[in-house]
Chains A and B, each alone.
Chain A
Amino acid sequence: MLKILKYSFYDLIRSRWSYVYFLFYLALGFVLLFLNNDVSKAVITLMNIIIVLVPLIGTIFGVMYYYNSREFTELLLAQPIKRTSIFLGQYLGVAGSLSLSLILGLGIPFVIYGLFRSDAIFDFTLLLVTGGFLTLIFTALSFNIALSNENKIKGFGYAVLLWLFMAVIYDGLFLMSLILFEEYPLDTFSLTATMLNPIDLSRTLILLKLDISALLGYTGAVFKDFFGTNKGFLISFTMLALWTILPIWRLIHKAKMKDF
C-alpha cells in the first residue's frame, strides 16, 4: 500500500494540477495579507474560501483522478497486490497531496507575514485542520461516487451535485425548517443538523472562534455551551473523523466486491 501511496503521491506532486492548486492558495494568501495586512482579519476571509472551495476541489479532483488513472488501476489489479492497498493508496495519495498544497500554500504567506507573532495562530491552525478534514472527507466521497459509476459524465454529475447539496442546498433546507418550525424549541435540532453536515460543522467551529460577538444571542449561547467546551470540541472532531472513516470504509468494501 505504501508503495502505491508513494507512487500516487509523487505522480500528483509532479502533476500540473497540484502546482496550480498550490500556487492558487499561495497567491490567495499573499493577496489577502497584502490587502489586509492583518492576520486575524485575513483568517475570516479565508474561512469563506475554505468551506466552499476545499470541498469543491476535493470532490472534482478525486473523481478526475480516479477516472484518469483507471487503466493504471486495472494494470495494478492484475498484479498480486491486495485491492485494499491499491484503492487506499490511491485515495491517500490524492487526499495527501491536496492537503499538502492547502497547508503549504496558505501556511507560507501567513508565516512570512508574522503568524507566530500574532494571536491568530490558534484560529489559523483550526482553519487548516478543518480544511484538511474537508479534503479527506470530500475526496473519499468522490472516490465512492467514481467507484460506483462507470459512466464518467454521470460520475462528475453526482460529484458536483454532492458538493452543491452539502454547501448550498442543505443550508437552504435547514433554514426553511428553522423558519417553518420557529414556534418549537429548535436548539437540539439546529445542533444536530449542524453536526450532520461536515461543511456546516467546520463553519460553526471556526465561527465560534471568529464572529463571537454576533453569536452571543440566545442560540449562540446554546452553541457556545456545546462547541465551546472540550467535550463539544471532541464530539465535533469525532464527527469529522466519522465523516472521513465511513466513506473510506465503504470505499474499501466496494472495491473488494467490485467486478472489474
Chain B
Amino acid sequence: MCIKRKLIFVLLVGMSIFGHAKTIEVCADCEAGTVKKGIAIAADFDTLLIKKGTYSEFNIQVDKPLVILGESYPVIDGRDQGEIFTVVSDNVTIDGLFIINVGTSYTEDYAAIRVVKSKNFLIQNVVLEKLFFGIYLEKSSHGRVYHNKIIGDAVEEFNSGNGIQLWYSNNIEVEQNIVQHVRDGIYLEFSDDVLIKNNISTNNVRYGLHFMFSNNDIYENNVFENNGSGVAVMFSKYIEMRNNTFRKNWGAASFGMLLKEINDAEITGNTFEKNTVGISIEGSNRIKYLKNNFSNNGWALKVRGACYGNTFSSNNFLHNSFDVSYNSKLNDNIFSGNYWSKYTGYDLNKDGTGDVPYRPVKLFSYIVNRTPETIVLLRSLFMDIIDFSEKVSPVFTPDKLLDATPLMKQIQ
C-alpha cells in the first residue's frame, strides 16, 4: 500500500515536472484576469489557482478536466444574472470558492455549480450564499460533494431552489455539508447508490432531505433540524437510514420523517426528538425499525394504512404524547422487545421483559384520529379513565397490536 502510494506520488511529481499539469494563476493583474479566461488558456489536467479577490462572472463553463482551486476563498459574484459554474467535463475538481448571487428564474433552474453528464468530479470546501439552486448534479456519476456550506435566504417555496440536488445521478457521496435556509436541503430524484453522510440540514423552508424514486441509498449520521416539514422519503426501495437525528420539526403538518411507498428499508439507530410526528408511515412494507429513539414527540409513529410486514424492535419510546396511532383495525406489523416509558407492567421472573403485553395504541389516540378537535382533552382525568378501560379490554383499537415482550429498561 505504502509503496503504491509512493509510486503514485512519484508519478504525479513526474507528471508535473514534465509539464503535463501546470498551475495557472487567476488574479486581477495576472495574465488570466478572469476565471473564464483562465479556463480558456488552461490545458487538460491543469490547476487553476484563483487568488483572493472578487470576480463578477456568471455562465462559466468548465469543459475540460481541471482543478479549480481558490486561495483564501475568492468571491465569485454572479450578480443575480444566471448560473455560475457549469461543469460539462469529467474529472473536474472545484475547491475553496465563495460563490454568491446566483440568478433566480422561474423557467430555468440556475445553480451555483451544476455538473452535467460528467464523472469523477469533486466539489469541496465551497461556500454558497444568496443562491437559487446550490449544487445541482444532473445525470452525473461517481462524484463527491464534500464539506461545503450552503446558506440560502429562502422564504417561500415557489421562488427558491434546493441546496444539493441530484437528478439521475448515481454513485455519489455527499458528506459533511451544511445546508440552511433553502427550499429542500438535499434533494434526490432517480439517483441510486448514493451515500449521504454527516450532513447538517437545518431551517429549510420545506424538507431537510427529500427523495423520490431513488433506490439502494444509504443515509448516515445526518442531522435534520427545524425544517418546514421535516424529511420526506417517497417511492424508493432498499434504503438504509442509520444514526440520523430528526429534531424539532414543529407545525400543523410537520413530521420528523415521512415514509410513503418505501419498501424493504432498514431504519436503525435514529433519534426522533420533539417532532409533531416522529415518523408518519403510508403504504410502506417490510421495513425494519431497530434501535431508534423516539422521545418527546407528539406522535412517535403515525401509521396511516397499507403498511404490512413491518418490524419494530429494540426501539425506545420515551415520553411521547402518543406512542403509536393507527387508523385501521387491521394490523400486520410486529412490535416486539421495545422499551415504552409508559409501560406499567411488572417482571416477576426477572428476565428483563415485562410479563404483561403493552398496547401502544391508546383509545384516545383513536379518538383523536377520528375527531382531531378532541386533542384539547389531552391529559384529562376522564381520558385516563377511558384509556384504562380500553387497555383492560380493547374494543376500538386493533386487539392484536401489542408488544408481547416490552423491555423493563431503556436500551442505551
Residues of A within 8 A of B (CB): 41, 44, 47-48, 51-52, 167-169, 171-172, 174-175, 178-179, 182, 186-187, 190, 194, 200, 203-204, 207, 211-221, 223
**Residue numbers in A under 8 Å from B397 (CB-CB):** none
Q: Contact string, B347-377, partner A, CB cutoff 8 A, digits 1/0?
A: 0000000000000000000010011111111
CA of A126 to CA of B367 in the docked complex: distance in angstroms? 29
**Residue numbers in A under 8 Å from B1 (CB-CB):** none
Assess whether A215 is in contact with B375, with CB atoms less than 8 Å apart.
Answer: yes
Residue of A nearest to B364 (CB): A175
Assess whether A175 is in contact with B275, with CB atoms less than 8 Å apart.
Answer: no
Assess whether B374 is in contact with A178, with CB atoms less than 8 Å apart.
Answer: yes
Assess whether B377 is in contact with A174, with CB atoms less than 8 Å apart.
Answer: yes
- Report the minimum CB–CB distance from A162 to chain B (whole Å): 14
CB-contacts of B256-308 with A (<8 A): 274-276, 296-299
Assess whether A175 is in contact with B367, with CB atoms less than 8 Å apart.
Answer: yes
CA of A223 to CA of B377 in the docked complex: distance in angstroms? 12
Assess whether B298 is in contact with A214, with CB atoms less than 8 Å apart.
Answer: yes
Assess whether A168 is in contact with B378, with CB atoms less than 8 Å apart.
Answer: no
Residues of B within 8 A of A (CB): 250-252, 254, 274-276, 296-299, 319, 321-322, 367, 370-385
Assess whether A213 is in contact with B378, with CB atoms less than 8 Å apart.
Answer: no
Given contacts A213-B296, A216-B252, contact A204 B370 (CB under 8 A): no
Assess whether B299 is in contact with A214, with CB atoms less than 8 Å apart.
Answer: yes
Residue of A nearest to B299 (CB): A214
Residue of B nearest to A179 (CB): B371
Assess whether A47 is in contact with B379, with CB atoms less than 8 Å apart.
Answer: yes
Residue of B nearest to A212 (CB): B250
Contact among A47, A187, A211, A216 for B251, CB-based, below 8 A: A216
**Residue numbers in B under 8 Å from A190 (CB-CB):** 373, 376
Supplied contacts A207-B379, A214-B299, 14 more A-B pairs, CB within 8 Å: A167-B382, A168-B385, A171-B381, A171-B382, A182-B370, A182-B373, A203-B380, A211-B379, A212-B250, A213-B250, A214-B321, A214-B378, A218-B252, A219-B375
**Residue numbers in A under 8 Å from B298 (CB-CB):** 211, 213-217
Assess whether A171 is in contact with B250, with CB atoms less than 8 Å apart.
Answer: no
Can you list 9 A-B pairs with a CB-CB distance of less than 8 A? A168-B381, A172-B382, A175-B383, A178-B373, A182-B371, A190-B376, A207-B379, A213-B250, A213-B274
